[in-house]
Amino acid sequence: MSGVLVTGASRGIGRAVALAFAAGGHRVAVHYGHRAADAEETLAALPGEGHLLVGGDLADPEEARRIAEEAEAGLAGVGVLVNNAAVATSPETAHPVASVSYADWQRIWRRTLDVNLVGAANLSYCVARHLIERGAPGRIVNIGSRGAFRGEPDHPAYGASKAALHAFGQSLAVSLAPHGIAVTSVAPGFTATERVADRIDDALLAQSPFGRVGTPEEVAAAVVYLASAEATWASGAILDLNGASHLRM
């Protein structure tokens, strides 16, 4: 079974993805940025053996390189990378043009892009180079967002970073296919994680004709499929997972 590196796996979607791969018999590297205790809970919950914990700030290029190397060594090879870690939408990261200061605008944009886009790009580079050097096939799955298409008026840096992540994945899909590496993205809508539990209200539920929001497990199931050998021909795809709450042409 492949070694799987899941970034931002302390809780939420990342934790669900780590659990799903471990349940399938894969060895998993649980990455965290600053939630070490939560990441340890994820690690402890994984079935099977050979899993490990890897901490580090993806906004730092050298940290990204170290994370990739630790996972490569600890898993005896990373075959699947799931780029899930992100600076997410929250009251603390809101930056609407009409009310945010220019200094905070700069700060939030820089941090969001450094983690959500550049960090994912650097880690993808490092993991892909290891795969190429080993002559091994592999998978990269990016966790994007519905917000890349629908817009994020209070969090424009987040929406832009996710749109760029989708585009980055499509570029890699073309460049890495000759090496047997498939690259895909998923674009979840609002997902019921611990971080956003207090934001779920009737208006939010009504966005989907199903009358609910998504679950981390639904996103994880899609990621596991896209990382499978059967999904090779999906390379370059962006899979919408939003319960028909936003339909793009």
Residue 50 clears pLDDT 80, i.e. is over it? yes
Q: Look at residue 120 and tell me if it is in a domain.
A: yes
Sheet holding 78-83, edge to edge: 52-55, 27-32, 3-6, 78-83, 138-143, 181-188, 238-241
Given a cut of 90, is residue 242 above it in pLDDT? yes
**Dmax over Cα atoms in the chain, in whole Å?**
51
pLDDT at 197 (0 to 100):
79
* Structure confidence at residue 196 as a pLDDT band (50, 70, 90): confident
pLDDT digits (tens, 9 = 90+) for 174-185: 999 999 999 999
What is the domain-level CATH number for residue 172?
A: 3.40.50.720
Q: DSSP secondary structure string, 32-94?
A: ESS-HHHHHHHHHH--SS--EEEE--TTSHHHHHHHHHHHHHHTTSEEEEEE-------GGG-
Name the phi and psi angles at 5, rounded to 5.
Answer: -105, 120
| 249 occurs within a structural domain | no
Which residues have C-beta within 8 Å of that of residue 200, sequence separation ≥ 6?
Answer: 190, 192, 213
Q: What does the pLDDT look like over 106-163, one tens digit per residue?
A: 999 999 999 999 999 999 999 999 999 999 999 999 999 999 999 999 999 999 999 9
pTM equals 0.96
Any domain includes 211? yes
Q: How many other C-beta atoms lie within 10 A of the C-beta of residue 138? A: 24
Mean pLDDT over the full length of the chain: 97
Known catalytic membership, residue 158: yes
Band (1; pLDDT cuts 50, 70, 90)? low
Number of domains present in the structure of the chain: 1
73 within a domain of the structure (yes/no): yes
Question: Which of the residues 32, 125, 158, 225 is marked catalytic?
Answer: 158
Work out the number of other CB atoms within 10 angstroms of the CB of residue 69.
Answer: 15
The per-residue pLDDT for 159 is 98
Whether 182 is in a domain gets the answer: yes
Would you state the pLDDT for residue 199?
Answer: 86
CA dihedral angle for residue 171, residue 174, residue 179, residue 181, rounded to 10 degrees: 70
**For position 205, what pLDDT does the model report?**
95
Q: Got the DSSP string for 95-121?
A: --TTTS-HHHHHHHHHHHHIIIIIIHH
Q: For residues 206-232, give the mean pLDDT.
A: 97
pLDDT at 194 over 90: no
Centroid of chain to Cα 200: 22
Q: Would you call 99 exposed, middle or buried from its count of C-beta atoms within 10 A (0-12, 13-18, 19+)?
A: exposed
Residue 216 belongs to domain spanning: 3-241
Judge whether 117 lies within some domain.
yes
Q: DSSP assignment, residue 213?
A: -
Residue 246 lies in a domain: no
Distance of alpha carbon 223 from alpha carbon 64, whole angstroms: 22
- pLDDT at residue 249, as a whole number: 82
Tell whether 248 is covered by a domain: no
